[in-house]
Amino acid sequence: MPSKGSGEFERGYIIPIGGSENWISPDVCEKLRSICLNSSAKALILNVSEQNIEHQISKVLLDNGFIECSIVNIHSRQDSKNPETLAKISHTDLLIISGERPLQISTIIGGTPVARQLRKLNADGVHIVGTFGAAALLSEHMIAGGQEGTTPTQNGVTMAPGLGLTNRFMVDYHFEQQGRLGRLLTALSYNPFTLGIGIDDGTALFISPKDELEVFGTGAATLIDPTNLQYSSMGSAGGGDPISLFGLQMHILAQGARFTCERQAYDEHWA
């Protein structure tokens, strides 16, 4: 479950961005700056990888209104427990997690003081971005990999625990690539109480504290909504079998599109 934080602040935005970790478009940066209500907004980039990550995110943020952009590298679980690292990430308005593979990122920071701090920061109003593989990391149920194809199958996805900023959504990235739909549908077969989101490269999805979604960027976000799911054969399927799903809804959100989630279905599940 997401952190409750101190309870004194509204939860920050959660922002998965599809595509490469080395750049964010000026349009997306402008929106990032607009949700920071601090006139002197600061950003911090958290590079989570076993190797150094080279990118231009810092320059784009500084060119679009942020007065400061710090960079912290986390290469190991030991780095994730460093008190100096925790101190550095505690004073920012926007925090960007950058990393290539979601399972590697989760292995490095999952269950560490850094992960707990990120959850608390978001609960207390800090906006958190996940780029490239870190886009999938943001949710509680993380898509770590899967088979190519458009049809969901019983073993078509690999799931792992994510950062847990939200339990209402599951995110997959590079969604315009062939074969991503099948693994997202399979993930929903295992977790039919969440909303599945596929993010194209160059596209950002802004998830507000009220679970209102807005898309910015050159691609689109594909939303798979299982709220009215009538039947799933996941429970009776054998290894590798195709899965039947009746009653799913699909929504395609391009630049500027907005979508408000039906809270009632999710609230009933978690009641």
CATH tag, 14-270: 3.40.50.880
Domain boundaries, the chain: 14-270
**Whole-prediction pTM:** 0.91
Q: What is the pLDDT of residues 210-269, one digit of tens each?
A: 999 999 988 999 999 998 899 999 989 888 899 999 999 999 999 999 998 864 333 333
**C-alpha to C-alpha distance for 261 and 9, rounded to whole angstroms:** 22
Mean pLDDT of the chain: 89
DSSP 16-81: EEBS-TT---HHHHHHHHHH---TT-EEEEEEESSS----SHHHHHHHTT-SEEEEEEE-STTGGG
- The answer to whether residues 224 and 253 touch, using CB atoms and an 8 Å cutoff, is no
Please report the pLDDT score of residue 89 as a whole number.
Answer: 94
Contact 125, 11 (CB under 8 A): yes
pLDDT per residue over 77-120, tens digit each? 999 999 999 999 999 999 999 988 999 999 999 999 999 999 99
